[in-house]
Amino acid sequence: MRDLAGRVVVAVPLLVAVLAAAYFDGWWLFGVAAVAALLALHELYTMIRPLRPLVLAGYAGAFAGLLGAELGGVEWLFAGLLTTFVFAFALYGIADTRQSGTVTIASTVLGAMWIGAGLGHLLLLRDYGTEYFGRLSIFTVLLAVWAGDSAAYFAGRLLGTHKLARVLSPAKTWEGFVAGTTATLLVAFFALYQDREAFLSIWQALVLGGVIAAAATVGDLFESAVKRDMQVKDSGRLLGAHGGVLDRLDAFLFVAPAAYYVILALD
pLDDT digits (tens, 9 = 90+) for 2-52: 555 556 666 677 778 888 888 886 688 999 999 999 999 999 999 999 998
Range of the structural domain that residue 107 is part of: 2-266
Q: What sign does the CA torsion over 40, 43, 48, 53 have?
A: positive
User: Predicted confidence band at 173 (pLDDT cuts at 50, 70, 90)?
Assistant: confident
pLDDT, tens digit, for every residue of 71-115?
A: 999 999 999 999 999 999 998 888 777 778 889 999 999 999 999
* pLDDT score recorded for residue 1: 47
Answering whether pTM is above 0.85, one says yes
d(CA 211, CA 184): 10
Q: Are 251 and 149 in contact (CB under 8 A)?
A: yes
Work out the mean pLDDT of the chain and round it to a whole number. 89
* Burial of residue 138, with CB atoms counted within 10 A of its CB: 0-12 exposed, 13-18 middle, 19 or more buried: buried
CB 179, CB 152: distance < 8 Å: yes
**Rounded to an integer, what distance in angstroms lies between the CA atom of residue 151 and that of residue 6?**
17
**If we measure between CA atoms, which residue out of 164, 172, 47 comes closest to residue 107?**
47
Q: How far apart are CA 136 and CA 21, in angstroms?
A: 13
CA 241, chain centre distance (Å): 18
Please give the pLDDT value at position 19. 81
Is residue 205 within 8 Å of 193, Cβ to Cβ?
A: yes
pLDDT interval class at 267 (50, 70, 90): confident
> What is the reported pLDDT for 234?
78
Mean per-residue pLDDT for 155-174?
Answer: 82
Q: Which of 24-28, 55-59, 151-155, 226-230 has the lowest mean pLDDT?
A: 24-28
Q: Is 254:222 a contact under the CB 8 Å cutoff?
A: yes
Q: Are 183 and 147 in contact (CB under 8 A)?
A: yes
d(CA 191, CA 181) in angstroms, rounded, equals: 15
Rounded Cα gap, residues 3 and 22, in angstroms:
28
Q: Average pLDDT for residues 122-136, to the nearest whole number? A: 91
Give how many domains the chain has, as a whole number.
1
The stretches of the chain forming alpha helices (DSSP H) are 2-23, 28-47, 55-72, 74-94, 101-111, 117-126, 131-159, 174-193, 202-230, 245-266
Range picked from 95-109, 222-236, 246-260 for highest mean pLDDT:
246-260
- Cα 127 to Cα 77: distance, rounded to the nearest angstrom: 13
Q: What is the pLDDT of residue 109?
A: 95
